[in-house]
């Protein structure tokens, strides 16, 4: 934890209703700089909906999302990414027809940002940025251990590597906050432990704040410093992993009660 906590991401009274169904209600979140915070809850608890509202994929029925005290509610997803909030997806969404390297390069477009003519004619200004983007992408791929697969098709990789590629892609947007939607889904315990180390490593190396959804209890307990528990869209608990594990409401939500 840093000495001067700086509020990175917060939400107030965030609510999402789909018709008569309230997917998330009155969600209040506070994440300080460099924290790793978890969001857990049974299936259908509204975790991904909360993510979608933060990243602008859904606009909330009520409430606000604040990034560094700035109201970002209702901004388009690409503007939110440009501000510094990147995400991965629960069901991996890599670009199908692209190589591993291209997948990461696409996410560098924010930093290339030249006019279409300059880009098409490969003018010197564009070229400099493009080669910088390539260098950065390869560096990222080295970080996630995929550099040797740079020319393979992204979707032909094994599952665990696809997850890593998604994270590399999100990092290429140079985020300040990284939102990971079930990064350990479908991984075996060994891979999950590696992932935990990996998450800590990228937090330190890229000076990130991480907010993640997870089902694997071991991963959440191992890596998160604090967590929020959702059930039927309602925040039923929050706090450090130890207290969450003992919380009767959480046990009830996860295991049911007689």
Partner 1 sequence: MSKKSSIRGGPISKNMLYTIIFLGACILFIFLADRLFDAFSLRVFNLCAIYIVLALSLNLLNGFTGLFSLGHAGFMAVGAYVSALLTMPAPLKEMNYFLVPIVSWLHHVTIPFLPALIIAGLVSACVGFLIGAPVLRLRDDYLAIATLGFGEIIRVIITNAQSITNGAQGLKGLPRFSTTFAVWTAAGLVVLFMVLLMRSSYGRAMKAVRDDELAAEAMGINVFRVKVTSFTVSSFLAGIGGALLGHMITTIDPKMFTFTLTYNILLIVVLGGVGSISGSVISAIIVTVMMEALRFLDEPINLIFFKTPAMPGLRMVVFSILLMVMIIYRQKGLMGNKEFSWEMFQNVFVKKSKKGGSHARTP
Which residues are at the interface with partner 1 (CB under 8 A)?
55, 57, 76-78, 81-82, 86-87, 89, 93-98, 102, 105-110, 112, 114, 116, 119-122, 126, 130, 133, 151-153, 169-170, 172-173
HSE (CB half, 13 Å, CA atoms) of 108?
A: 21
Shortest Å, Cβ 120 to partner 1: 5
Q: Are 59 and 1 in contact (CB under 8 A)?
A: no
82 vs 251, beta carbon nearer partner 1: 82
Shortest Å, Cβ 180 to partner 1: 12
Report in angstroms the alpha-carbon separations of 215 from 83, 157, 241. 28, 23, 14
Q: Are 47 and 98 in contact (CB under 8 A)?
A: no
Shortest Å, Cβ 218 to partner 1: 27
CB atoms within 10 A of CB 171: 24
Shortest Å, Cβ 93 to partner 1: 4
Backbone angles phi, psi at 163, to 5 degrees: -60, -45
Among positive and negative, which fits the CA dihedral 81, 128, 152, 148?
negative
89 vs 193, beta carbon nearer partner 1: 89
Shortest Å, Cβ 182 to partner 1: 15
29 vs 108, beta carbon nearer partner 1: 108
Spatial distance between the Cα atoms of 237 and 249, rounded to a whole number of angstroms: 7
Shortest Å, Cβ 138 to partner 1: 15
Spatial distance between the Cα atoms of 168 and 137, rounded to a whole number of angstroms: 8
86 vs 244, beta carbon nearer partner 1: 86
List the end-to-end C-alpha distance of the chain, in Å, as a whole number: 40
């Amino acid at each position: 934890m840093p000495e001067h906590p700086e509020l990175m991401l917060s939400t107030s009274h965030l609510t999402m209703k789909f018709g008569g169904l309230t997917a998330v209600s009155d969600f209040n979140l506070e994440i300080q700089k460099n924290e790793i915070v978890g969001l857990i809850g049974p299936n259908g608890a509204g975790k991904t909906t909360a993510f979608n509202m933060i990243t602008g994929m859904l606009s909330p029925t009520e409430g606000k999302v604040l990034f560094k005290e700035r109201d970002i509610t209702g901004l388009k997803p690409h503007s939110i990414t440009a501000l510094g909030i990147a995400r991965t997806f629960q069901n991996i969404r890599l670009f199908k027809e692209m190589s591993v390297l291209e997948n990461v390069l696409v996410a560098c477009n924010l930093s290339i940002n030249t006019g279409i003519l300059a880009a098409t004619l490969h003018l010197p200004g564009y070229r400099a940025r493009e080669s910088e983007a390539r260098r950065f992408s390869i560096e990222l791929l080295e970080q996630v251990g995929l550099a040797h697969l740079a020319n393979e098709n992204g979707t032909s990789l094994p599952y665990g590597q696809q997850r890593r590629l998604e994270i590399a892609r999100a990092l290429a947007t140079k985020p300040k906050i990284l939102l990971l939607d079930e990064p350990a889904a479908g991984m075996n315990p060994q891979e999950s432990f590696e992932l935990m180390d990996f998450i800590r490593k990228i937090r330190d190396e890229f000076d990130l704040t991480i907010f993640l959804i997870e089902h694997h209890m071991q991963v959440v307990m191992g890596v998160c410093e604090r967590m929020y528990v959702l059930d039927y869209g309602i925040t039923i608990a929050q706090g450090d992993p130890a207290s969450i594990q003992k919380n009767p409401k959480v046990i009830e939500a996860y295991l049911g009660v007689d």
